[in-house]
């Protein structure tokens, strides 16, 4: 059987020139199967592991269709709409459209939240050929009358499992209803849970299905392991592991935004260049953190699952799940940030006592147990709690008896088989912060007075500016 090439797939010469400039020589399996079907105007459900080239699989046929059927764009309208679940993925898709369509006279723009809408409104005024958008901001502009969807002839949902999950289904349905029924619809994703497959069938019409993902969904080139460690000792373990020079470019995943900030700040204090990225950051701050990571200015990127969907950063050597995800599918997306484009990679998961159920769900999904790399013993007080549990306000620094906690030395952690620790390395980060100076929490709207511990306005202002440590956020 002959190996397909981009030429034999039927792509036009301007696209072939762009692919050559990008260094693309051989189509990936998802590209080889999807491109001919899409050039024939079929609807498609494409399932492939992350890092296999899904963006090019739908972008190349889309560009060819729009270039071959040129018509004037209508004001505030788009001929093709690509939906993405995150701002970062939308920007990445936009970069791909720009690179592949460099020799075509087609206009595209990106609509996403986290930035002012003025520039996006102005870009849509004349109309565009391709609109890449996140659902929330797109619906805002549609409701304001700045965007019309009645001219869309090609609809693409990338990371379809996330787009069709319960958190996005309402927005997706509204957008689909606003798009003409006569269209080509494509859904691409790394996973497609059974419970959302029937929702995809509502959107697609007589669709072809391509499934590149094997039954064991985790990428085979990734060495996957787990370390059992009490929650309060995870940061010390992470700092120790990062002393390994082989960990050149690392993504650390947490479940919460606050947890990401806390881990990144701790690493910075220990001399590790780290940035955090999550939904509470502005778009400019998120983009700056990604750029620093791509350019090597930051060795570690600490992220929530927002960065697990489709972000393609070269040469990520390690993924560390500081906290296991509560959705097993998210594990697949997380570890897919390493071992991209044929490279190898390592994924290490920290698991405390409260996360054993998450671990079992992950192992059921990937149909194999994770290799146990090691076990870290609990410290003397037997604590085994999650990292993001909040200290009670009004308690002096330290434990329940008001005693300060110092270094947790002489534990002899055995997270790896290299070398004998002999308890020589001390772990921990000094006293655990509680309410500053033991001040009691005053009334909610108090600007000074009872319960403020003195210096009323000043101390209350300080507390308001410091985010509560136990705040539960996604």
> Which residue would you say has higher pLDDT here, 337 or 324?
324
Token duo for residue 87: 């701002």
70 has a pLDDT exceeding 90: no
Distance from C-alpha of 268 to C-alpha of 300, rounded to nearest angstrom: 10
Give the bridge partners for 321, in sequence order. 253, 349
Among 265, 284, 298, 273, smallest CA distance to 429 is for: 265
* Residue 300 near residue 252, CB atoms below 8 Å: yes
* pLDDT of amino acid 443: 43
Could you give phi then psi for residue 20, rounded to 5 degrees?
-65, -40
Do 13-211 and 222-389 fold alike per CATH? Answer: yes
> What pTM was computed for the model?
0.66
Q: Who wins on pLDDT, 172 or 37?
A: 37
Residue 405 burial (CB count, 10 A):
17
Q: Write the DSSP assignment of 176-218 as a string of letters.
A: HHHS-SSSEEEEEES---HHHHHHHHHH-SS-EEEE-S-SS-S
Residues in contact with 308: Cβ distance below 8 Å, sequence separation at least 6, in sequence order: 253, 330, 333, 334, 336, 337
Q: Band the pLDDT of 361: cuts 50, 70, 90.
A: very high
pLDDT range class, residue 202, cuts 50, 70, 90: confident
Indicate if the pLDDT at residue 244 is higher than 50: yes
Please, what sign has the CA dihedral across residues 68, 69, 72, 76?
negative
* Window from 169-178, 181-190, 324-333, 377-386 with minimum mean pLDDT: 377-386
Q: Apex CA 17: angle with CA 26 and CA 11, to 5°?
A: 65
Q: What is the mean pLDDT of residues 443-456?
A: 41
Using DSSP's 3-state secondary structure scheme, residue 290 falls into helix
Residue 412 pLDDT:
39
Residue 421 in 3-state DSSP? Answer: coil
Task: For residues 443 and 229, give the distance between their C-alpha atoms in angstroms, rounded to a whole number.
Answer: 38
Query: E strand or H helix at 63, and its extent?
Result: helix 54-68
- Residue 172: the pLDDT is 86
Work out the average pLDDT over 82-105: 93
Report the chain's mean pLDDT, rounded to a whole number: 80
27 within 8 A of 35, measured Cβ to Cβ? yes
Q: Given pLDDT bands bounded at 50, 70 and 90, which one contains residue 119?
A: very high
pLDDT surpassing 60 at residue 223: yes
The tokens of 66 are what?
């729009």
Residue pointed to by tokens 């006293």: 431
**Full strand arrangement of the beta sheet holding 208-211:** 108-111, 128-133, 78-83, 154-158, 184-189, 44-47, 208-211
C-alpha 303/C-alpha 321 separation (Å) is 10
pLDDT bin (cut points 50, 70, 90) of residue 181 is very high
Whether residue 407 is predicted with pLDDT greater than 80 in this model: the reply is no
Residue with tokens 């390994």: 244
Quickly state the pLDDT bin for 314 (edges 50, 70, 90). confident
How do the residues of the chain divide into helix, strand and coil, expressed in percent and rounded to 5?
35, 15, 50
DSSP letter at 427? B
Which of 231-245, 298-312, 324-338 tops mean pLDDT?
231-245
CATH number, span 13-211:
3.40.50.300
Q: How confident is the model at residue 338 (pLDDT cuts 50, 70, 90)?
A: confident
Residue 52: partners with Cβ closer than 8 Å, 6 or more residues away: 28, 29, 30, 212
3 state SS of 19: helix
Q: What is the Cα–Cα distance from 435 to 388, expressed in whole angstroms?
A: 15
Backbone angles phi, psi at 82, to 5 degrees: -115, 120
What are the sequence ranges of the domains in the chain? 13-211, 222-389
For the segment 377-383, the average pLDDT, to the nearest whole number, is 63
**pLDDT at residue 219, as a whole number:** 63
The DSSP 8-state label assigned to residue 353 in this structure reads G
Q: CB count, 10 Å around CB of 108? A: 20
pLDDT score recorded for residue 436:
39
Q: What is the pLDDT of residue 105?
A: 93
Give, in words, the CATH class of 222-389.
alpha beta
pLDDT of residue 59: 97
Q: Is the CB of residue 317 less than 8 Å from the CB of residue 344?
A: no
| CA proximity to 113, closest of 141, 146, 82 | 141
Which helix (H) or strand (E) covers residue 81, if one does?
strand 78-83
The Cα-based distances of 131 to 123, 170, 447 in angstroms read 10, 20, 48
pLDDT above 90: residue 130: yes
Name every residue whose Cβ is closer than 8 Å to that of residue 262 and which is 6 or more positions away in sequence.
Answer: 387, 388, 469
Looking at residue 440, the DSSP 8-state letter turns out to be P
Classify 390 as helix, strand or coil: coil
């Amino acid at each position: 059987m002959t190996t397909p090439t981009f030429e034999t797939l039927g792509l036009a010469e301007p696209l072939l020139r762009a692919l050559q400039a990008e260094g693309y020589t051989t189509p990936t399996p998802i590209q080889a199967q999807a491109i001919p079907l899409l050039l024939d105007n079929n609807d498609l459900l494409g399932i492939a592991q992350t890092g296999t080239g899904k963006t090019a699989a739908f972008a190349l046929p889309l560009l060819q269709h729009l270039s071959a059927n040129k018509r004037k764009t209508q004001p505030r309208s788009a001929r093709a709409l690509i939906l993405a679940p995150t701002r970062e993925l939308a920007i990445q898709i936009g970069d791909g459209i720009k690179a592949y369509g460099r020799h075509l006279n087609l206009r595209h723009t990106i609509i996403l939240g986290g930035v002012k809408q003025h520039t996006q409104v102005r870009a849509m005024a004349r109309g565009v050929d391709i609109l890449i958008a996140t659902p929330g901001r797109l619906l805002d502009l549609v409701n304001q009358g700045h965007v019309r969807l009645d001219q869309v002839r090609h609809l693409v949902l990338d990371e379809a499992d996330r787009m069709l999950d319960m958190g996005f289904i309402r927005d997706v349905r509204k957008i689909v209803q606003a798009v003409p029924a006569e269209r080509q619809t494509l859904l691409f994703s790394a996973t497609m849970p059974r419970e959302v497959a029937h929702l995809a069938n509502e959107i697609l019409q007589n669709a072809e299905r391509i499934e590149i993902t094997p039954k064991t969904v985790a990428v085979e080139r990734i060495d996957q392991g787990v370390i059992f460690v009490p929650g309060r000792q995870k940061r010390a373990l992470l700092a120790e592991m990062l002393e390994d020079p082989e960990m050149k470019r690392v993504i650390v995943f947490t479940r919460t935004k606050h947890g990401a900030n806390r881990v990144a700040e701790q690493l910075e204090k220990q001399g590790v260049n780290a940035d955090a990225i999550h939904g509470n950051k502005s778009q400019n701050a998120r983009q700056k953190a990604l750029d620093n990571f791509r350019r090597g200015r930051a060795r570690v990127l600490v992220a929530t699952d927002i960065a697990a969907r489709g972000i393609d950063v070269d040469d990520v050597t390690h993924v560390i799940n500081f906290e296991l995800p509560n959705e097993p599918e998210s594990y697949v997306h997380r570890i897919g940030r390493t071992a991209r484009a044929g490279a190898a990679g390592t994924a290490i998961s920290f698991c405390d006592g409260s996360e054993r159920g998450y671990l079992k769900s992950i192992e059921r999904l990937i149909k194999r147990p994770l290799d146990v790399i090691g076990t870290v013993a609990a410290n003397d007080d037997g604590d085994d709690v999650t990292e993001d549990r909040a200290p009670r306000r009004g308690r002096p620094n330290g434990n329940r008896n008001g005693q300060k906690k110092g270094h947790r030395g002489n534990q002899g952690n055995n997270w790896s088989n290299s070398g004998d620790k002999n308890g020589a390395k001390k772990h921990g980060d000094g006293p655990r912060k509680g309410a500053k100076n033991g001040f009691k929490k005053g009334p909610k709207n108090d600007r000074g007075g009872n319960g403020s511990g003195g210096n009323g306005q000043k101390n209350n202002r300080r507390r308001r500016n410091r985010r509560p440590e136990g705040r539960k956020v996604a």
